[in-house]
Amino acid sequence: MSKPVLVVGAGPVGLTMAAELARYRIPVRIIDKAPARSDKSKALAVWPRTLELLASASCADAFVAAGLKAGAIDIHSGNTTVARLTVDHIDSPFRYLLILPQSETERLLETHLETLGGKVMRGTELTGFAETADGVSCTVRHPDGQDETIDAGWLIGCDGAHSLVRRTLGMTFAGDTLPTGFMIADVHIAGLTIPPADLAIFWHEDGPLMLFPISPGHYRVIADTGSATNPHPAFEDVQAIVAQRGPGGLTLSDPVWLSGFAVNERKVENYRAGPVFLAGDAAHVHSPAGGQGMNTGMQDAFNLAWKLALVEKGLAGSGLPDSYSPERSAVARQVLTDSGRLTRVMLVRNRLTRLLRRLAAHRILSIPAVQHAVADRLAGLTIGYPDSPLSTGSARTLHGPRPGQRFIADSPFSTGNTPRFALAATENTDARAMTERYSPLLETEIRKPPDEKGIWLIRPDGYVAATAHAGDWSVIDAALSAIVTSATATRIPVSA
């Protein structure tokens, strides 16, 4: 391996991508056209599944220390609480929603990248690229106006919703823009009586109002404006909407950020064209309802990094990254569906529909099984890859996760400098022989299986690659052998 990977964009997704590649000792360059890191709080939610993956990268502690642990999302109507959704019962080491301004997430990711020897080249813009026989030739413009050609092995477009990489590839960003705009304001609020770490949603006949804690006394205010034009609000507009839709008696001061946004629901069909990949907002954008955008993008990066690293280290065949697009595209499709539904439920105006919404939310969210299912979904714990080409084997009678599902473990997977698969099985000569045969692709430690009648092969990102009945090592052997020898099925040309 000699050519670097070029990551374009140092938002949360590009930074995660570069840090993961640097952790795996893969040469990487990361550029961003902006001269400095953004100070905007944008995405506030870091969900448990993202924290679990950050724990594998040994940097979750810094995030948890910097954030605010929110345990509940409350839905109110005036001064009445309609429903309360808690996340403190989920099966994860992180039983809360971490509230952390995106500017802080980016700062922590950049610090993490720097401890691994990486550095963002700021004020440096990708202006074009073309596929070569063994990679991509990329043209970047430096702050002094000088152009440089970077001969990269892979190009990863983490360059946001207006992605040049996506546009150059000629990929359609299919979807719609909702016919309504939202205002956003980060302000100080006095007089709020709800628990300080709870997220509060107020349903009102004129539209929803959301108050999310950022730090003690400081809140993110989001409200739909009912207008498709998307103006940046004045502070007085924010005060008026909070007085109208909120619980009353609130005093707003110290506006830090006033903005407006439109909701776009779009994604590309394929995240890959030859040696070029898309990740994050470059590949999919959705409503912020449910707070999944940044989390989905960062998880794209975790998914792709270990696959590229194994190929670059010569431990897997070149076909391994083929699974990235189908796996992550299916996840984005689900996020689009869920966040779209949530947004439309929030926006109902009709009196009867609002009444039904209120009754349904109250009844349904008071059922524990529904509480668990909704919390798991928001937390990212139901994400899985059952239809992935990497999910093989079957042992339906076993108690434990199926191929493609997340494996719940006491300690994170693949924390070192090489992405490693893991075995969960009863330790015996056959199990040890398997770890020796596939070293260093397979961890030497054999983990406790959820059912002694089975064997689980777990991917570096903690999802089950294969299951088999105890003793049926041929299934595990075939799954690992397929990783080692996988060849790219088709050469996917860069269309530019």
Residues that bind ligand FAD (CB under 6 A): 8-14, 31-34, 42-45, 102, 125-126, 158-160, 164, 184, 261, 280-281, 288, 291-295, 297
Nearest CB to ligand FAD, comparing residues 42 and 272: 42
Residue 41 vs residues 105, 181, 192: alpha-carbon distances, Å: 9, 19, 21
CB of 283 to ligand FAD, least distance (A): 8
Nearest CB to ligand FAD, comparing residues 129 and 413: 129
DSSP state of 463: B
DSSP state of 471: T
CB of 137 to ligand FAD, least distance (A): 15
Residue 347 vs residues 73, 166, 231, 364, 370: alpha-carbon distances, Å: 18, 31, 18, 19, 22
Residue 137's beta-bridge partner residues? 130, 151
Nearest CB to ligand FAD, comparing residues 24 and 182: 182
Q: What is the dihedral sign for C-alpha 467, 472, 477, 479?
A: negative
Residue 172: CB atoms within 10 Å: 10
CB of 46 to ligand FAD, least distance (A): 8
Q: Report, in this order, helix, strand and coil percent for the chain, each rounded to 5.
A: 30, 30, 40
Nearest CB to ligand FAD, comparing residues 16 and 435: 16
Q: How many whole angstroms separate alpha carbon 133 and alpha carbon 135?
A: 6
CB of 482 to ligand FAD, least distance (A): 31
Contacts of 468 (CB under 8 A, 6+ apart): 393, 395, 454, 455, 474, 475, 476
- CA atoms lying within 13 Å on the CB side of residue 480: 26
Q: How many whole angstroms separate alpha carbon 33 and alpha carbon 7?
A: 12
Query: What's the one-letter identity of residue 23?
Result: R
Nearest CB to ligand FAD, comparing residues 140 and 395: 140
Nearest CB to ligand FAD, comparing residues 232 and 363: 232
10 Å CB burial of residue 473 (0-12, 13-18, 19+) is: middle
CB of 369 to ligand FAD, least distance (A): 26
Place of tokens 């470059």: 282
CB of 221 to ligand FAD, least distance (A): 11
Q: How many whole angstroms separate alpha carbon 289 and alpha carbon 293?
A: 9
Nearest CB to ligand FAD, comparing residues 298 and 434: 298
Q: Which two tokens stand for residue 56?
A: 């594998």
CB of 212 to ligand FAD, least distance (A): 8
Sort residue 175 into left (φ over 0), alpha (ψ -120 to 50) or beta: left
Nearest CB to ligand FAD, comparing residues 28 and 476: 28
CB of 111 to ligand FAD, least distance (A): 17
CB of 74 to ligand FAD, least distance (A): 17
Long-range CB contacts for residues 324-327, cutoff 8 Å, separation at least 24: 324/271, 324/272, 324/277, 324/300, 325/270, 325/271, 325/272, 325/277, 326/387, 326/388, 326/389, 327/303, 327/385, 327/388, 327/390
CB of 455 to ligand FAD, least distance (A): 36
Nearest CB to ligand FAD, comparing residues 8 and 365: 8
CB of 164 to ligand FAD, least distance (A): 4
Q: Which two tokens stand for residue 222?
A: 């989001």
Q: How many whole angstroms separate alpha carbon 385 and alpha carbon 388?
A: 5
Nearest CB to ligand FAD, comparing residues 300 and 443: 300
Nearest CB to ligand FAD, comparing residues 156 and 320: 156
CB of 257 to ligand FAD, least distance (A): 9
Q: Which two tokens stand for residue 325?
A: 């697009």
- Which of 315, 308, 306, 305 is closest to 275 using CA atoms? 308
Nearest CB to ligand FAD, comparing residues 43 and 116: 43
